[in-house]
Chains A and B, each alone.
Chain A
Amino acid sequence: MSEVTRRDWLTALGAAMLSGGISAEAAQHVHQAVAEAKKPAAGAYKPKVFTAHEYKTLQVLADLIIPADEVSKGAVEAGAPEFIDLLCSGNSQLALIYTGGLGWLDRESQKRFDAVFVEAKPDQQRALLDLLAYSKNAKPELAPGINFFNWARRMVVDAFYTSPIGIADVGYKGNKGMAKFEVPVEAIRYALKRSGLG
């Protein structure tokens, strides 16, 4: 029977909604509780898709794309390789892009430097990535590498900036809730002055 009685409804509902009285403070409390609830698990991660060597290569690549700097740590610390491995485990098309791309990187590195990517020197690694990253260097024979690099770059960026490290890096201050929405006068003044609009 698909008819839903009133009682089912009332029990199915979050009490907050029908009783209505969630204060801004209470809501804020909820936010914080949620935020604390699930921190990414620490410890060694076991790749689901990649071999140990592939995973190592991915880690090196991720930290080259988003390295640690004076503001924040890098992509590995932010969980980018885990993120990519997980998504590859749920999507064979993506897995092929990565296993193929990482293989391409090794072969190309071997050809040029007589060392697989992780064993090449940092400036050699960067020299290879430069060929893929800048349109001025693009050559038809590099196409598979360029394509792969674009995937990796986009996904490493996504992973980094959706981590607590990346979120703090750009300075996102929200997801807290406010009792009253206010904009710092200082921010408005700054923007107005720089725009020449007032």
Chain B
Amino acid sequence: MAQVRRSAPVYDVVVIGSGAGGGTVVQVLTKLGVNVALLEAGGMLNPAKDFKEHMWPYQVPHRGAGEAAESYFGRKDFGFFSAVNGWWEIEGEPYTTAPGSSFRWFRSRILGGRTNHYGRISLRFADYDFKPYSRDGLGTDWPISYEDVAPYYDKVEEFIGVFGSKEGIRSAPDGIFHTPPPPRAHEVLIQKACAKLNIPCISSRLSVITRPINGRAACHYCGQCGRGCVTASKYSSSQVQILPALKSGKLTIIPNAMARELITNDEGLVTAVSYIDKTTRTEKQIRCRTVVLAASACESARLLLNSKSSRHPNGLANSSGVVGRYLTDTTGYSMSGHIPALVGMLKHDTDGVDGGHVYMPWWLWDKQKEAGFPRGYHIEVGGGYNMPSIGSFNRTIQRHEGYGASLKAKIREEYGTFVSFAGRGEMIPNEHSYCEIDPDVVDQWGIPVLRFHFKWSDYERAQVKHMEQTFTEIIEIMGGTVVTKQKDISVPGEIIHELGTVRMGDDPKTSALNKYCQAHDVKNLFVADAAPFVSNPDKNPTLTICALAWRTAEYLAEELRKGNV
């Protein structure tokens, strides 16, 4: 059974999970002098060794396709050159979907979680995003408002570094920005086309620094952020928060530690975390004064649901029964087009940062009737003279039959002449979408797994129709033609913004956490990932995860100091 050393230290705080939320909590607490132990289910990361930034495809004989031709037979990861990031399936750790539902769950098992590779899009929620019910009668209002979170957005942006431009657009509040890189040539065309449609097309807001801060070098525009940035010029919780926090001497990292259950005492407080030491396949316990769950929204819900006892028959912190409920993902739809105006343009270095230098924030927030659906979406763009890699020319070889000199000429001509658009929109929580413990299935350590239920509603479908029309219009105004388009709305989970499963609120009957993300039922338990979110606005969640985690960490430190927890 579990080995508990009598002399084992009691940590002020045990943090579970080292992604955006866990990383931020670790950074803030260690700075405030709190002793923290970090349990991470994955292994350690060594960026200098693990990252493949700047490698050419021909530097490996398989050119990035993989030794076993993985690129041609369905990869199980993002590709050879990508930063370690996890995948939809993890060996030995299944999840299930209920009949009639589909859900894809992307998980990482590595220090830094999904931030080592993530897309770095860093958007503040708008003021109205915190009050969705007041705005249109759907969903639920957050127990906090934009004003509560704004100071933490400031702190996070200052610390991790986000570039962008100040625009004064209500749907996209300005932040504290580094100077953004200018738009690429095709992005200038997109801006002009959007101007004709009265769609704002502004500088992207990405967690990439364009001047040195905190000992991190400014971005050198190699466009390879997804491979992991050796100079830590982009945000990852591993490089930007957790490694530097080690210098404080306040942090103990326990890698390969899969938390299984929270142990409570007679008063219903958490006293220890039971975890699997994956390297020895043994169960251990770590004692704590307080615990912060940051294992990612669904993992945190799973951990609570699996922490059952006679005192907590529905799982811990779940007297309301909301844990696992209100699961949402972002809606997604994409399209690409060929732009003849770009043919024959002077070839130049368009690497910049990995991702679009411009994006379109939601523009019909004051004309929702005109949109024909509640809530909104933003648009991300792609294009440019990218480094050729396996599959780079699939579009051209699909468009043109044949071989030989004519094929070669076509590829040369079409290189860099495609643009792509991806819509990312807000889903409204519904009663059909949630996760629960599958009573029949356990993972390789015997931990019961999650079963997902999910349904898009007509709101989301209407939104995606609108995306299709808008992207087609933009491509046509650019003088281009549509080349590829998604058939249907994204598969639930696929946009990797799953959240809402341990939501916060003022009423303990309808929420699991209070406005500081502290459990109503268990005062020494906090949640610091996207599980507390009450809604899923059309802004990628990570900046808000960090802001809320920062706020929770400060509150927690103060409660510790006062002896309240």
Contact = CB atoms under 8 A, between A and B. Distances in A.
B351 A12 contact: no
A186 B346 contact: yes
B63 A159 contact: yes
Interface in A1-48: 2-4, 6, 9-10, 12-14, 16-24, 27-28, 30-31, 34-35, 37-38, 40
A176 interface: yes
Nearest to B404: A67
A87 B346 contact: no
A195 B339 contact: yes
Given A20-B217, A129-B403, A170-B388, A197 B192 contact: yes
A127 interface: no
Given A27-B220, A134-B401, A13 B48 contact: yes
Contact of B184 (A38, A40, A183): A183
Contacts of B54: 30-31, 34-35, 175, 177
A86 interface: yes
Interface in A98-155: 126, 129, 133-135, 153-155
Contact of B222 (A3, A12, A155, A176): A176
Contact of B415 (A30, A79, A133, A170): A170
B192 A83 contact: no
A162 B256 contact: no
B408 interface: yes
B397 interface: yes
A166 interface: yes
Instruction: Classify the secondary structure of A's interface with B.
Output: helix
Contacts of A174: 222-223, 349-351, 385-387
Nearest to A14: B48
B137 interface: no
B372 interface: no
B61 interface: yes
Nearest to A156: B403
Contact of A173 (B193, B347, B404, B478): B347
A171 B417 CA distance: 13
Interface string B329-358: 000000000011111111111111100000
B410 to A, nearest CB: 11
A22 B58 contact: no
B179 to A, nearest CB: 10
A138 to B, nearest CB: 10
B13 to A, nearest CB: 16
Interface in B392-407: 392-394, 397, 401-405, 407
A194 B480 CA distance: 11
Contact of B182 (A30, A79, A91, A182): A182
A23 B348 contact: no
A175 B67 CA distance: 24
Contacts of B223: 174
Given A2-B279, A173-B347, A153 B403 contact: yes
Contact of A65 (B44, B243, B404): B404
B92 to A, nearest CB: 18
Interface string B366-396: 0000000000000000000111111111100
A76 interface: no
Most-contacted residue by chain B among A4, A67, A86 (CB, 10 A) = A4
B342 to A, nearest CB: 6
B232 interface: yes
A24 B210 CA distance: 11
Interface string A156-194: 011101111011011111111111111110111011101
B68 A69 contact: no
A154 B397 contact: yes
Given A4-B253, A178-B220, A167 B404 contact: no
B183 interface: yes
B47 interface: yes
Given A23-B217, A91-B73, A183-B184, A79 B58 contact: yes
A191 B62 contact: no
Interface stretch (B244-252, B291-299, B485-493): B244-252
A126 B411 CA distance: 20
Contacts of B67: 87, 90
B459 interface: no
Given A176-B222, A191-B186, A197-B192, A69 B231 contact: no
B356 to A, nearest CB: 13
A119 B389 CA distance: 33
Most-contacted residue by chain A among B69, B186, B214, B407 (CB, 10 A) = B69
A21 B63 CA distance: 31
Given A87-B62, A169-B412, A24 B249 contact: no
A86 B564 CA distance: 63
Given A3-B252, A83-B65, A164-B56, 5 more contacts: A19-B215, A90-B62, A191-B341, A194-B344, A195-B479
Interface of B: 44, 46-49, 54-59, 61-69, 72-73, 181-186, 188-189, 192-193, 196, 212, 214-218, 220-224, 230-232, 239, 243-244, 246-247, 249, 251-257, 277, 279-280, 339-353, 385-394, 397, 401-405, 407-409, 411-412, 415-416, 477-479
The list of the 7 closest CB pairs from A to B, nearest first, reads: A14-B48, A20-B215, A195-B341, A171-B347, A162-B57, A174-B351, A177-B220
Interface of A: 2-4, 6, 9-10, 12-14, 16-24, 27-28, 30-31, 34-35, 37-38, 40, 64-67, 69, 71, 79, 82-83, 86-88, 90-91, 93-94, 126, 129, 133-135, 153-155, 157-159, 161-164, 166-167, 169-184, 186-188, 190-192, 194-198
8 contacts: A12-B44, A87-B62, A91-B68, A94-B73, A167-B387, A170-B416, A191-B185, A197-B192
